[in-house]
Amino acid sequence: MGAWVIGTLPDRRIGELLRAAVRASPPTPMPSYVHVPGELDWWRSTAPESLFSASESSPGSWAAGADACRLSAFFDGCQDHSDAVEALGDAVMDAFPPEGAEGLFAAVARKAGPFSALAYALGPDAVLGLPGWFGDFLLPAEEVRARLPEAEEALDLTGARRREAVERIHRWMTALGDDPDHDAEALLDGPLRVLRHAARTGQGAAGLVRWY
């Protein structure tokens, strides 16, 4: 099961978590599993419509082509699954607001990553405008405020652009996952809600891409 969780954190708590992480495991360069510039160029040159085709065996469903599998592998390869990063992620999750709070958003999906579905829906340039690195971020309050306009430009979609993004999320969740009823509207609205809440209340924010 894939998950993408975004929550608010006070700046003081972010500092404590980072200091504890450094003491436990000094930072090391993240290994490069993919050639990011090359894959981004390929993604930009690939028509989104070419990644999926209508399923012949299941009306209303979709089948993933080789390009969809390549894009999914690219997203997965951009994640740092080292023990130190996983431990920091666990500590950040423990510090998030409780379930149901305005400062928390969580998306889960069977066999698919919610962030990957959103990234496909938005396209490469919009994704690079989101905070952090392909869904993972840990930002103090000042950086949340600085990055909020870019996040709003990427996520605050209306009209035909929003309908197209919702349809692309559905295709990803159907063809690469097992969650055709995933709430695509919430996947667009939830992250921005948390970032706006963080900016409004003077807090930092974190995002975590996780697999269970």
Q: CA 137 to CA 157: how far, in whole Å?
A: 22
Provide the 8-state DSSP code for 103. Answer: T
Q: CA 142 to CA 204: how far, in whole Å?
A: 8
Higher pLDDT, 173 or 25: 173
Provide the 8-state DSSP code for 98. Answer: P
What are the tokens at 59?
């009306």
Q: How large is the average pLDDT for residues 181-196?
A: 97
Average pLDDT score over the chain: 92
Q: Is the pLDDT of residue 159 over 60?
A: yes
What are the tokens at 11?
């700046």
Amino acid in the structure at residue 17? L
Higher pLDDT, 61 or 130: 130
Q: CA 106 to CA 90: how far, in whole Å?
A: 15
Cβ partners under 8 Å of residue 75, min gap 6 = 113, 115, 116, 119, 134
Provide the 8-state DSSP code for 136. Answer: B
Q: Is the pLDDT of residue 4 over 90?
A: yes
Cβ partners under 8 Å of residue 47, min gap 6 = none
Distance of alpha carbon 137 from the chain centroid: 9
Q: CA 94 to CA 144: how far, in whole Å?
A: 20
| Closest residue by Cα to residue 144 from 189, 207, 212 | 207
The reported pLDDT for the residue numbered 103 is: 97
Q: What is the pLDDT of residues 129-154, one digit of tens each?
A: 999 999 999 999 999 999 999 999 99
Higher pLDDT, 49 or 163: 163
The reported pLDDT for the residue numbered 183 is: 96
Give me Rg for the CA atoms of the chain: 17
The model's confidence at residue 35, banded by pLDDT at 50, 70 and 90, is confident
The model's confidence at residue 43, banded by pLDDT at 50, 70 and 90, is very high
Q: How large is the average pLDDT for residues 94-106?
A: 96
Specify which residues 206 forms β-bridges with: 7, 138
Q: How large is the average pLDDT for residues 187-200?
A: 98
